Amino acid sequence: MTMSARDRLIVGLDLPTVAEAEKIVSTLGDSVDFYKIGYQLAFAGGLEFARDLAASGRKVFLDMKLLDIDNTVAKGVENIAKMGVSMLTLHAYPKAMKAAVEAARGSGLCLLGVTVLTSMDEQDVIDAGYEYDPHTLVLRRAEQARAAGMGGIVCSAEEAAAVRKIIGTDMALVTPGIRPAGADKGDQKRVMTPADALRAGSSHLVVARPVVQAAEPLTAARAILAEMESALSG
């Protein structure tokens, strides 16, 4: 099935309160169907909000970036699968991914392996103790995620084309750090426009600040969707 721009756009509810998140969801209305909930909102009532969103028919990407011993990851994934959310992130460590895949089997939950955070550049990766540059580390983890049976990958759009060659066409490729032309990069270091990210092979784009911090969030979201539709039809 061909996905529309609306299927592919994930608006990140990176907000301090559920009330503010509810306001954004209400403002965006039927224009946006998919939302990301991460740490900030999760620890302010966002997990219950995620359940409510999923129950209302919205798709939810729960960005928890799980990493722990195998049993703890598995038990966490089992409960998250019961929440009705569509996507869940965990760090792309082979043992954690294998445990998560087994725990999610049969649930329909799409597990995403986080490769290298888009806020990290080569020096950041070196400082973290890795022997690989970001690009090499992303590709290595993409291979491991495919081998583990994960549903998809999270990486910078800069690596999307190379990752797509490794994971094939069936796995989701979710790219944060998306910034419309002229937008402030904020703390992101490896960013790309929506159109370029789709052309590079991304299946889903995560956009937070350019929408939720816009003076007119609905106008901002519609502009991004229009850019995505143009890229998809071009």
Q: Kindly report the length of the chain.
A: 234
Residue 234 lies in a domain: no
Summary mean pLDDT of the chain:
92
> Is residue 68 among the annotated active site residues?
yes
Number of separate domains in the chain: 1
Structure confidence by residue, pLDDT tens digits, 124-182: 888 988 888 888 888 999 999 999 999 999 988 888 999 999 999 999 999 998 888 65
169 annotated as belonging to a binding site for a ligand = no
Residue 82 lies in a domain: yes
> Would you place residue 1 in the very low, low, confident or very high pLDDT band (cuts 50, 70, 90)?
low
Nearest to 153, CA basis, from 201, 207, 208: 201
187 annotated as belonging to a binding site for a ligand = no
Yes or no: say if 37 and 60 are a contact pair by the CB < 8 Å rule: yes
> What gap in Å lies between CA 104 and CA 112, rounded to an integer?
12
67 annotated as belonging to a binding site for a ligand = yes
Domain encompassing residue 113: 5-229
Q: What is the pLDDT of residue 14?
A: 96
69 annotated as belonging to a binding site for a ligand = yes
**Residue in 23, 52, 65, 196 annotated catalytic:** 65
Residue 145 lies in a domain: yes
Q: What is the pLDDT of residue 177?
A: 83
**Which of 10-19, 135-144, 176-185, 186-195 has the highest mean predicted lDDT (pLDDT)?**
10-19
Backbone angles phi, psi at 119, to 5 degrees: -85, 0
Structure confidence by residue, pLDDT tens digits, 37-85: 999 999 999 999 999 999 999 999 999 999 999 999 999 999 999 999 9
Residue 167 lies in a domain: yes
Which residues pair with residue 207 across a beta bridge? 11
Helix axes 160-167, 134-148, angle to 10 degrees: 30
**Residue in 7, 68, 124, 196 annotated catalytic:** 68
Q: Which helix (H) or strand (E) holds 81?
A: helix 70-81
> Is residue 30 among the annotated active site residues?
no
Residue 71 lies in a domain: yes
CATH of the domain at 219: 3.20.20.70
179 annotated as belonging to a binding site for a ligand = yes
Q: Match 């806020």 to its residue by tokens.
A: 119
> Is residue 59 among the annotated active site residues?
no
